[in-house]
C-alpha cells in the first residue's frame, strides 16, 4: 500500500513538472496575455480539468516556481557550515535560485523565464511580493545563525543586500541576451558588497 502511494506521489509530481515546463516555455515564447490555460493543456496533451488539478491558473505556475526557489534558498542557508562568513552563506543561498532554474531548464529556457517575469507587470509584482517573504525568511535564518534577534538591523539589511545582488545579476544577464554568466554576476555583486557585509 505504501509503495502504491509512493508511486502515485511520484507520478503526480512528474505530471506537475511536465505541466510547469510546458506552461513556462509557452508563456515565455508566446507571451503571458497571449497564452491561455487551454493552450497549455493542449500542448501538454492534457485536459483543462487536469491542469487545474495542479495549478489554479497560469499565474500560479510561475508563483509555484518562485515558492520552490524560496524554499531552496532558505534550506541552503540553513545548511551552511556554522561560523561561515555571512556574505559567503548568503552568496551560496542566492546562487541556489539560479542553480534551481538551471536544474530544470537549459540556459536559453531559463533566460526566457527570467525575461517573462521581468517583462510581465503582473508576474514581476508577484515576484517582488514573494521576494519580500524570502527576505524575511533569510533574515530570520541568518539571525539565528548569528545569535541575534531577527529584527536586528544587520540580518534585515544583509538579506536585502543579498536579493539586490540577485536582482541585479538577473537583470544584467537578461540585458546581455544570455552572454554573461549569471553565477559570475552574483559573485561579482557579492565581492562588491563584501566590505559592507563584513563590517558587522
Q: d(Cα 116, Cα 95) in Å, to the nearest integer? A: 20
The reported pTM is 0.83
pLDDT, position 2? 59
Handedness of CA 129, 130, 133, 135 (dihedral sign): negative
Q: What is the pLDDT of residue 3?
A: 59
Whole-number mean pLDDT of the chain? 88
User: pLDDT tens digits for 61-83?
Assistant: 999 888 888 999 999 999 999 98
DSSP conformational letter for 67? H
Question: Residue ranges of the domains in the chain?
Answer: 1-55, 61-197
pLDDT class of 103 with cuts at 50, 70, 90: low
Superfamily of domain 61-197: Tetracycline Repressor, domain 2 (1.10.357.10)
CB atoms within 10 A of CB 22: 20
| Alpha-carbon gap, residue 120 to 98, rounded angstroms | 20
Dmax of the chain from CA atoms? Answer: 56
Q: How confident is the model at residue 108 (pLDDT cuts 50, 70, 90)?
A: confident
pLDDT of residue 102: 58
Give the Cα separation of 77 and 191 in Å (integer). Answer: 18
Coil, helix or strand at residue 57: coil
Q: What is the pLDDT of residue 104?
A: 54
pLDDT in tens, 36-61: 999 999 999 999 999 999 999 999 99
Cell 532554474: give the residue. Answer: 101
Question: DSSP of 113-167, one letter per residue?
Answer: HHHHHHH-HHHHHHHHHHHHHHHHHHHHHHHHHHTS-TTSHHHHHHHHHHHHHHH
CB 155 within 8 A of CB 135: no
Say whether pLDDT at 4 is over 60: no
1-55 CATH fold: Arc Repressor Mutant, subunit A (1.10.10)
Amino acid at each position: 500500500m505504501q509503495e502504491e502511494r509512493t508511486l502515485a506521489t511520484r507520478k503526480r509530481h512528474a505530471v506537475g513538472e511536465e505541466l510547469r515546463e510546458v506552461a513556462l516555455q509557452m508563456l515565455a515564447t508566446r507571451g503571458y496575455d497571449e497564452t491561455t490555460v487551454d493552450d497549455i493543456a493542449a500542448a501538454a496533451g492534457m485536459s483543462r480539468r487536469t491542469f487545474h488539478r495542479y495549478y489554479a491558473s497560469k499565474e500560479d505556475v510561475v508563483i509555484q516556481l518562485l515558492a520552490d526557489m524560496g524554499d531552496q534558498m532558505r534550506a541552503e542557508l540553513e545548511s551552511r557550515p556554522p561560523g561561515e562568513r555571512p556574505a559567503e552563506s548568503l552568496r551560496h543561498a542566492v546562487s541556489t535560485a539560479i542553480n534551481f532554474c538551471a536544474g530544470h531548464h537549459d540556459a536559453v529556457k531559463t533566460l526566457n523565464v527570467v525575461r517573462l517575469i521581468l517583462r510581465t507587470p503582473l508576474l514581476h509584482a508577484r515576484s517582488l511580493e514573494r521576494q519580500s517573504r524570502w527576505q524575511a525568511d533569510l533574515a530570520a535564518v541568518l539571525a539565528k545563525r548569528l545569535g541575534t534577534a531577527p529584527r536586528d538591523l544587520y540580518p534585515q539589511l544583509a538579506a536585502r543586500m543579498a536579493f539586490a545582488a540577485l536582482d541585479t545579476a538577473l537583470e544584467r544577464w537578461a540585458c546581455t541576451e544570455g552572454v554573461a554568466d549569471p553565477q559570475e554576476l552574483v559573485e561579482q555583486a557579492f565581492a562588491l558588497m563584501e566590505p559592507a557585509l563584513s563590517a558587522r
